[in-house]
Amino acid sequence: MDDTKEIMPSRLTGLTQAVVENAIERAFRVWSDVTPLTFERVFEEEGDIVLSFHRRDHGDLYPFDGSKDHFAHAFLPGPGLGGNVHYDLDQTWTDSSENFNLFYVTAHELGHALGLTHSKDEEALMFPNYTWDNKDFVLNQDDINRIQALYGPSQNPMQLTGATLDPCNSGLTFDAITTYRGEVIFLKDRFLIRVISFLPEPLINEMDLIWPNLPGKFDAAYEPSVVDELRFFKGSKVWAVQEQNVLEGFPMDIHSYFGFPSNVTHIDAAVCEEETGKTYFFVDHMYWRYDENTRSMDPGYPRLIAEDFPGINDKVDDVFQKEGNFYFFHQSIQHRFNLQTRKIEDSGDFSTWFNC
């Protein structure tokens, strides 16, 4: 299925034509961004996907009744009504978190129109309950996996409007690198590159779309193994994030939160050792070790990086753990440090993560 066409509704009470068209265009883009599908609006012919607004009985055996329980439905791909989306015109449709958000409902119903059934993942767009509560939207990995199982991944997964970031640029360096739920995430300016094991190419996202309340261009980031969070560092501040939400009370000062001395003004790199729950903070040529379970600094620190991590003699720009190794980065070079043997086992260019 290379092309899918749609006919837009001409009028909708309560929303301007421009708002309606923008909401529906964004909803289509949710699915075209992660698949090879393209969508074209047509006027002179009936499209494969027709969006229309109705009241009560409208001839498809699924009449609307004006209740909040049945406000839209869609049909799986096929002849006749297949692929079409119907909305209840008696509902209040909005471009906000009140009542029914037209963009969010359309994106969900288009999932059905493209062949998806409901998801069991409560965070997924295709979960059967309406859960929209804000304007910031990121497609859940479960939705991505299921739609790509039908159509395959995007043929241009690294393209963004206005983006020129090339992961295979040999001169590229990163602001921070971390893991999150099995992914490796490389952060650069306002972009993040996601390396996902089951995808052949990395995905590039704009940070504002995923974490709109973070400042960006961080010094360091890490995933603590004892809680489902990400922590980001910029100067002497730390932000803690769950999913797309900054936790209440953050940002906080690294001195009060972690117990750093006042002369530590930034963090170069950070990584939590999965097996022990110990977090290593690298600052210049020294490092501190923090116990995530007791939420306190271990005694006897800071220590010299070069003494405890033989061969890591340069400043640590970034670090993360994958399996039994720490990956240390200095500029564009990475060192794979085996935590059991306490030796560097391999060195090379970071571009190996991007299949360059």
Dihedral pair phi/psi, residue 156, rounded to 5°:
-130, 65
In a shared domain, residues 183 and 322: yes
pLDDT at 20: 86
Catalytic-role residue among 45, 98, 109, 274 = 109
Residues 133 and 183 in one domain: no
What is the number of alpha carbons within 13 Å of residue 62 lying toward its C-beta? Answer: 15
Say which amino acid occupies 223: E
Please enumerate in sequence order all residues whose Cβ is within 8 A of that of 294, keeping only pairs 6 or more positions apart, or say none.
Answer: none
Q: CA-to-CA distance for 233 and 229, rounded, in angstroms?
A: 13
Residues 33 and 120 in one domain: yes
CATH of residue 116's domain is 3.40.390.10
Pair (282, 317) in one structural domain = yes
pLDDT of residue 13: 57
243 neighbors 123 (Cβ within 8 angstroms): yes
Does residue 78 sit within a domain?
yes
Q: Are residues 257 and 326 in the same domain?
A: yes
| Ordered alpha helix ranges (H), 245-294 | 254-258
Q: Domain limits at 24?
A: 3-151
Q: Which of 187, 199, 223, 197 is nearest to 149 (CA)?
A: 199
C-alpha–C-alpha distance, residues 187 and 178, integer Å? 8
Domain count, the chain: 2
Q: Are residues 335 and 276 in the same domain?
A: yes
Query: pLDDT digit of tens for each residue in the chain (356 aa)?
Result: 334 444 444 345 577 888 888 889 989 999 998 999 888 887 777 788 999 888 888 888 788 888 777 889 998 887 778 889 999 988 888 888 888 889 999 999 999 999 999 988 888 899 988 877 665 678 888 899 899 998 888 776 544 333 456 787 767 789 999 999 889 999 988 788 888 877 777 888 777 777 878 887 899 999 999 999 999 999 999 999 988 789 999 999 999 999 999 999 999 999 999 999 999 999 999 999 999 999 999 999 999 999 999 999 989 999 999 999 999 999 889 999 999 999 999 998 888 888 87
- Kindly state whether residues 112 and 197 are assigned to the same domain: no
Q: Domain check: are 13 and 100 in the same one? A: yes
Q: Are residues 184 and 284 in the same domain?
A: yes
In a domain, 321, yes or no: yes
Helix (H, G, I), strand (E, B) or coil at 52: strand
184 in a structural domain = yes
* CA 242 vs CA 82, 124, 205, 239: distances in Å: 38, 16, 18, 10
Structure tokens at 216: 């960006």
Domain boundary among 136, 151, 166: 151
In a shared domain, residues 9 and 132: yes
**Reduced to 3 states, what is the DSSP secondary structure of residue 306?**
helix
Residue 116 lies in a domain: yes
Write the burial class of residue 351 (CB in 10 Å: 0-12 exposed, 13-18 middle, 19+ buried): middle
Tell me if 311 is assigned to some domain: yes
* CATH number (domain holding residue 210): 2.110.10.10
The answer to whether residue 156 sits within a structural domain is: no
**Distance in angstroms (rounded) separating the CA atoms of residues 265 and 222:** 18
CA distance 265 to 263: 6
| Two tokens, residue 7 | 């006919």
**Residue 181 and residue 42 share a domain:** no
Same domain (yes/no): 145, 265: no
Residue 304 lies in a domain: yes
pLDDT of residue 314: 87
Could you say which of 117, 151, 185 is where a domain stops?
151
**Confidence (pLDDT) at 10:** 39
pLDDT at 68: 76
pTM: 0.56
Nearest to 222 by CA among 327, 117, 98, 109: 327
Q: Is 275 a catalytic residue?
A: no
**Residue 193 forms part of a structural domain:** yes
- Residue from 116, 117, 114, 93 nearest 105 by CA: 93
| Contact (Cβ atoms closer than 8 angstroms) between residue 307 and residue 288 | no
Q: Which of 280, 259, 272, 262 is nearest to 289 (CA)?
A: 280
CB atoms within 10 A of CB 214: 19
327 close to 280: Cβ distance less than 8 angstroms: no
Which residue is it, tokens 């059991």? 340
